[in-house]
Amino acid sequence: MKYYLTAIIGLVILLGAADILSAGEKDPGDQSYLAVVNDDTIYVAAMDQIFMNLHSKLDKERKENFDYRKLLNKMINDRLIIQEATALGLDQDDRLLDKLGQSRKNNAMRLYAREQFKAAPEISDKDVLDYFNKYYAKLQLRTISVQDSALARTFIAAIKGGAPMDSIAEASSMDMYRYKGGLHNLKYYADVERELRDQADKLKPGGISAPFRYRQVYAFLRVEKTMPADTSELATYAKKIRSVLEQQVRGAKWTEFIDGLEKRYPFRTDSAVIARIKADSAKLYTPDFTDGSGDPIFVGSGQYSYSEAEVRTGVSRLAMERGDLPFDSLLQIGLISAKDEFVLTMASSEDGYLERPEVVSQYINSLDSSLIETYIKETVVSQITFNHAEFDAYYNEHLDDFREPDEIELGRLDIPDEKTAAEIEKRLKDGADYDFIAREYGRTADVVEEKTQWISLQVLPDQVKSELELLKIGESSRVFPTSEGLMIFHVSGRRPGRVKEMSEVEMKIREIMFQRKFDELLDKALTLIKAGSEIEYNEPAIGKYFGEGS
């Protein structure tokens, strides 16, 4: 529910930052704490972190007007809710713990990869030049696509015997190039499809390939023209080429890195499970595809395994992103990604990364965030209800809030030259009748009067809008130069904007009322929690921290 998520964002301010809250006994002589919430202490360091995060998001005006003291109150409220949720046993929910456990593994895995994988590709100018010379040379092909290879060989023999390839392409080819006699545009080698490039690599200009499988048909090609790379273009593409080469080097080093981990942490793959996934290829875009079993597809030593369901979910997500790929390719990419994740999980766990302070801190913050969200969902959001009588009452009490911008009845004169425009502007300012001026100059100076129409001022440019807002009914504007010529506007009438129908604003009202009820119920819940809690404010430290009384 989006309203719930919007409401909770401002509440959970402490989450996502490391070491924000620390539990433990307060040192009586330590003045670096701001408050104690039951047994949990809120330290100055926690507030410092909040300030840094907040300052990076506020503009100058909001920084000056923001009530920073409220941040401490929010932190206290968060801690009270976390304590109450824990007392209710929400921290023992199996689904929650599974989700957080996976998140902890992912954080450990990412930290491990960041620290252990070293790849700083050094790409030389020669590497860039070699790539440029190969992939920015130009190639022009002519192709013919037919249903079977036998027909392709017949056409090849005819062409080699002197038959014109373009005529055969126009008459018989099945691809879109038939209308150009099979001729492709002259392209950079990098822009030619790999299947066609692979065939062209074997040929010299004028050479004809053997039939090859191409998409759903058979094709053959002739190399029409080749051109070396134009070195004057090197500077244009050098940065892009260097980036491509760096990515290729990183990819190769990553493969080496993963291969090394596989040797350290061997595992077996269940080919029967992979076969079962392949058998369901027709279900890829249905919910049934992800309903895999919990059977492991990868099994390492000890407790390490990676399930069929996880692979299916990964392939399904990949299909949403890369639906152009065939199923076999999607499955292959999905299995490689799953294998990488699996060996990284084993390596990071065995090397103690699950216990690294930053990973533990992220876990605690994620747990706190989840506890707050779950508590609010179950004790606040679940109590929020609506009825149409409330909606109708709010709508009728706030009609002006749902009114569209006021409208203006506007006429316009399109004037062909500056001399005439200045003359008309002066006469109108001196009190001449607008309609009379429009008729007179329409006959003698090619001035065009546009018919008056009701429009919202919001659709006009800011400069025009700001001036027309000041005009009374019956008054005319100064001359405005526009991209369509010189114009003078005339205000014939004004009327308030239309009040939107209830059906148009119902969702907005629902959002407003949800927030109102959310705040009321949350305040009530916090009041009850605080009644049974002990909160100590270290007022000297708070005053010093917020600069109060100085």
Structural domains in the chain plus CATH codes: 2-90 (no CATH), 91-135+237-379 (no CATH), 137-228 (3.10.50.40), 405-495 (3.10.50.40)
Question: Are 211 and 166 spatial neighbours (Cβ–Cβ below 8 Å)?
Answer: no
Chain mean pLDDT for the chain: 88
Check pLDDT > 50 for residue 356: yes
Instruction: Using the structure block, give the residue that is written with the tokens 């049974």.
Output: 532
pLDDT value at position 291? 85
Distances (CA, A) of 197 to 31, 132, 193: 72, 16, 6
- Give the percent of the chain with pLDDT over 90: 71
**For 186-209, what is the mean pLDDT?**
96
Higher pLDDT, 426 or 8: 426
| pLDDT greater than 70 at residue 30 | no
- Whether the Cβ atoms of residue 19 and residue 361 lie closer than 8 Å to each other: yes
- Order of strands across the sheet that contains 485-495: 448-456, 407-415, 485-495, 476-482
Orientation of helix 388-397 relative to helix 502-531, angle to 10°: 110
- Provide the pLDDT for residue 23: 38
Examine the pLDDT at 27 and tell me if it is beyond 80.
Answer: no
Closest C-alpha to 211, from 163, 165, 147, 162: 147
pLDDT of residue 11 exceeding 80, the answer is no
Q: Is the pLDDT of residue 127 over 90?
A: yes
The DSSP secondary structure of 264-309, one letter per residue, reads: HS--EE-HHHHHHHHHTGGGTTSGGGG---S-EEEE-STT-EEEHH
pLDDT at 3: 40
Show the CA angle centred on residue 321, arms to residues 315 and 327, nearest 5°. 45
Question: What global pTM score does this model have?
Answer: 0.62
Question: Where do the DSSP E strands lie in 252-406?
Answer: 268-269, 296-299, 305-307
Percent of the chain with pLDDT over 70: 92
Q: Read off the pLDDT band of 13 (50, 70, 90).
A: very low
**What's the average model confidence in pLDDT over 374-387?**
92
- pLDDT above 80 for 45: yes
CA–CA separation, 358 and 354 (whole Å): 9
pLDDT of residue 424: 93
Contacts of 238 (CB under 8 A, 6+ apart): 128, 132
Looking up tokens 């997500």, which residue turns up?
Answer: 317
Which residue carries 């190639």 as its tokens? 139
Structure tokens at 217: 């048909």
Of the segments 10-14, 57-61, 163-167, 291-295, which one has the largest average pLDDT value?
A: 163-167
- In the chain, the amino acid numbered 8 is I
What is the pLDDT, as a whole number, of residue 549?
57
State the pLDDT confidence band at 15, using cuts at 50, 70 and 90.
Answer: very low
> Measured between alpha carbons, how far is 351 from 344 in angstroms, rounded to an integer?
10
Terminal-to-terminal C-alpha distance of the chain: 45
| Mean pLDDT, range 397-412, rounded to an integer | 91
Q: Give the H or E element holding residue 139.
A: strand 138-146
Q: How confident is the model at residue 489 (pLDDT cuts 50, 70, 90)?
A: very high
Q: 61 pLDDT band (50/70/90 cuts)?
A: low
